[in-house]
Amino acid sequence: MTWGTELWDQFENLDKHTQWGIDFLERYAKFVKERLEIEQTYAKQLRNLVKKYCPKRSKDDEPRFSSCMSFYSILNELNDYAGQREVVAEEMGHNVYGELMRYSQDLKSERKHHLQEGRKAQQYLDQCWKHMDNSKKKFERECKEAEKSQISYDRLDNDINATKSEVEKAKSQLYLRTHSADESKNEYAAQLQNFNGEQWKHFNVAIPQIFKNLQDMDERRTVKLGETYRSFADVERRVVPIISKCLEGMVTAAKAVDQRKDSAIVVESFKSGFEPPGDFPFEDYSQNLSRTGSDNTISTPKNEGGVKPDPKHSISKAAKNKLWLFGKKPKAPSLEDFSHLPPEQRRKRLQARIDELSKELQKEVDQRDALNKMKDVYEKNPQMGDPQSLQPKISETMCNMEKLRSEIHKNESWLSEVEGKVSTRGDRRPSADVNHHTPHGRESPEGSYTDDPSKEHRSPPHQPDPRQAHQPDEFDDEFDDDDPLPVLGHCKALYSFDGQNEGTLLMKEDDVLYIIEEDKGDGWTRARTQSGEEGYVPTSYVEIAMEKNSKGS
């Protein structure tokens, strides 16, 4: 069934129907738009929820309990789920809503064109009908006039009193009217034939073709709706496997909760390493009292072996064990060597710090090797770059490596102390050794730096002359120390210095050295070469760049 043959006379109704079809398509597009807006809002709310319950944490605050890890895994899966909802919204907007709106515009243009063609055909048929109708009315008028002329002629022709001229005039008038009527008849017949032909073409060719085009357009609209319905479902179907994986991940995270593992982590986190407190000894204060030999007297328990307990030792040990056994442990200030922590916790924190410093040191070593390779390439191919431009970066990297090695050595000493190893410095704590190596010494109340003369000798008292360096009187005994001093910064030689005197350091102009002890007002700065040689150089001979926070290093 086609609209052109079955609905040849329903132009207005087809106009309304096609308009309704486009309105329905746009209504469905609006539905899809509101749906994707719901998806976008839902995804945004899910992401905000995940962000709220998964705040940023420092490395030390990372959760280790299986219940916490599972919860954060669920949050990650939920975040991925929110991402899939965003994918649904995006594909709905592009593949469904956008496609519908573009197709709606095309339908409107096509419908307008077909309806204009139909109206033009109708207007042309109406015009043909008017021409035919006018010719018909003209033919009718001419026939009536001819009839009147015929009656007038017959009346005069039968009248014996009428003159011959009057009869001839009436006859001539009859002839003219009859001729006009014949011409009008012929014209009317031609217009009628033409109208009938155009009307046949209109209802059998033009209108069926136009209505067929409208029918094809409406059917394509219906097909497009079906396709977008399917696309609407396919968008959801494509994300179902990924959403299923997210849900499976949540189930896996739930299965990963291990109460025994969490209990072990609690033990590992809070185990102090101390031994449980022993029994309190009985302290007998009645030994000096004289007793009668009564059988009812309660005898005082004696220590096995006849050894008298040490009250001070027992009490102090008991008091020590009781310090925070039944109450809240007093909060001690955080120290660099973690000595405020129990032994087990201190060992873990020091080991973690050593591992972190070792990673940083490896990064610096890799960077130094890369810079040295680049420098070699520049030296072999000067057109690629200036080798000297890399020297400041190499020096900075070397300085960082020295600082990291110093920090690692310091923490390893503390770790050895915790693990019960014998320190190479006797009874002194490694932290004290490091502090002893600190080049700026102790800070006096007035803000000047002073050192204990029994531990460190005085450096040359006078500012050296740039042309001839002053020979220091004597240098401290830290040269005999096995541990390297921490690097405080670096310096660049402005002049050459022969370093012939004992304790001084040879340097050439533009050499880069590491500063390990600042100038204390006597004009000398202690430095170290990249090869590890240490000594004093005139402060006025070098350009110094101190590292940040060098006082606290």
Give CA–CA dist 278/276, Å, rounded. Answer: 6
For residue 40, the surrounding DSSP H or E stretch is helix 11-53
The alpha-helical segments, DSSP class H, found in 159-206 are 164-201
Q: What's the pLDDT at 415? A: 87
Residue 85: burial class (beta carbons within 10 Å; 0-12, 13-18, 19+): buried
- CA-nearest of 414, 373, 410 to 365 is 373
Most distant CA pair in the chain, distance = 201
Contact at 8 Å (CB) between 542 and 513?
yes
Q: How many residues does the chain have?
A: 553
Tokens for 125, please give them.
């048929």
Query: Residue 192: what pLDDT?
Result: 92
Rg (alpha carbons) of the chain, rounded to whole number: 55
**pTM of the prediction?**
0.50
Q: Which long-range contacts (CB under 8 A, 24 or more apart) does 80-83 make?
A: 80/242, 80/246, 80/249, 81/46, 81/243, 81/246, 81/247, 82/42, 82/43, 82/44, 82/46, 82/47, 82/50, 83/43
Q: What is the pLDDT of residue 239?
A: 92
Environment class of residue 3 by beta-carbon count within 10 Å: exposed (0-12), middle (13-18) or buried (19+)?
A: buried
For 349, half-sphere exposure in the C-beta direction (CA atoms, 13 angstrom radius) is 21
Contact at 8 Å (CB) between 192 and 132? yes
8 Å CB contact between 401 and 364: yes
Token pair in block for residue 2: 């086609």
Query: Distance of CA 119 to CAs 112, 148, 214, Å?
Result: 11, 43, 13
Query: 209 CB contacts (<8 Å, ≥6 apart)?
Result: 4
- In this structure, is the dihedral angle defined by the CA atoms of residues 506, 509, 511 and 514, taken in order, positive or negative? positive
Nearest CA to 540 out of 527, 523, 515 is that of 523
CA 53 from centroid of its chain's CA atoms:
17
Q: How much is the pLDDT for 444?
A: 34
Q: What DSSP string runs through 328-365?
A: PPPPPPP-TT-TTS-HHHHHHHHHHHHHHHHHHHHHHH
- Which residues 6+ apart lie within 8 Å of 67 measured at CB? 257, 262
What pLDDT tens digit does each residue of the chain (553 aa) get?
788 788 888 889 999 999 999 999 999 999 999 999 999 999 999 999 999 988 676 655 666 888 888 999 999 999 999 999 999 999 999 989 999 999 999 999 999 999 999 999 889 999 999 999 999 999 999 899 889 888 988 888 888 887 888 888 888 888 998 999 899 999 999 999 999 999 898 888 888 999 899 999 999 999 999 999 999 999 999 999 999 999 999 999 999 999 999 998 888 888 877 778 888 888 877 877 765 544 444 444 444 444 444 444 444 443 444 444 444 444 556 678 787 777 777 888 888 889 999 999 999 999 988 888 888 888 888 888 888 888 888 899 999 998 999 899 889 888 888 777 433 333 433 333 333 333 333 333 333 333 343 333 333 334 354 334 444 444 444 444 456 778 888 899 998 888 877 788 889 888 899 999 888 877 889 999 988 888 889 888 899 887 765 444 4
pLDDT at 242: 93
